[in-house]
Chain A
Amino acid sequence: MLVQDIMTKKVVAIDPEMPIVDVNKLMEQRNIRHFPILMNSQLVGIVSDRDIRVVGSEHPRAQKGVTLKDSVKKIMRSPVLTTHPLDPIEEAAKVLREHKIGAMPVLDGDELVGIVTGIDFLEAMVKMTGVYGATTRLEVEVDNRPGGLASVLDSIAKKKVNVSSVMTTRSDPDAVHFVLRVNTIDGRGLAGELRKEGFEILWPTEKP
């Protein structure tokens, strides 16, 4: 999955001269927490709801003398960390996490084409782990070597069962743990047959 698959494409950008009080109103009206700031179509900064909340307060991060009447350029952050529409989402997620920021504008060259926030990544995660079509959970552990997963999938295919999603939940040097969603109601039957063929099935477990 790429940044362009999860980003918000209709970006609301603002002018550096906009008074902070108006930025605040716009955030409330549009239910948006981050605004990229453009000057002559160039990205010059970003402002978040947190930057605005401390204006005029005793908060250690509040700038002395800045009031809500001042223009937003006084509190905007720059330079801005950005990402590219073709970056893999895990790269972008790492940047957000390492810098502890909530959003990144997406630039294609100099052009602002989108924005990604932490919520977009949560959405992506829900989609990745989500259930599409009626399926059963099957957890397998396979040797960490070429063909480890392939042999399980091959055996499942021979039973005319489709695999609609594959996830890796953890791995150690010798084994890899996969969660598959398979389109059969008889997950126990399938697990039983796979066990007989020597595969390590973690779910469904045997009944006590």
Chain B
Amino acid sequence: MSAIMLPGADGALYQRDHSWHPPANTPGYKSTTFRAPRQPLLALGATASELTGPTFGHSMLGPLDNDLIRNYSQDGTEAIGQRMIVYGQVLDENARAVPNTLVEFWQANAGGRYRHKKEGYLAAIDPNFGGCGRTITDESGFYSFRTVKPGAYPWPNGANDWRPAHIHFSVFGHAFAQRLITQMYFEGDPMIWQCPIVGTVPDKAGIEQLIARLDRHNTTPMDALAYRFDIVLRGRRSTMFENKLEGN
């Protein structure tokens, strides 16, 4: 579909609802104290610089990029932990699929330990687990990868704060202003509601949007559980033009 840009309705993005996102300064998450800008953000109607963004081809992907169980295997041994498939659809606010966009993910191992030189938690390293992967959404906006369920872990914030099991996500969309980083949690985990980082999201319904649902239909029998996590990026103001949506 060709983009027909009309004056004043040029496919700009919907205004971002900052009351739905965490504010910059959230005292319960102490790292924000000195890193949160204090001046108001300057409102900038998106220009070509923000309405375009990098594109990535499927050819950049290696065959194991979306298989964290095997992509860091040192000797053919698979990663330790609860095997699972994480999948979902990337959509925009107009509920349209976002195809061919890069999705990156990273996580701790099954014991809650990251493979990182600054990580000091005493849980064991898994020699066959690197903790990162990536994929590109298909024509319908779907992504999937295989991994092990990450463990919960303690972190220096309060005297005894713990992160619930989670997976980090980075998503591009098709415009640089759609760029998003977030975290996915697991349905039924009581620790979600005790976490200061989860608690930076102001609205309970917003937090619910970060929780992946157990999906029995997509499990691999005798192998892996499945969790579904849909991701919504900002949508464009589409112009109604000859009864067709244009500008996307």
A binds B: no
**Chain A interface residues toward B at CB < 8 A:** none
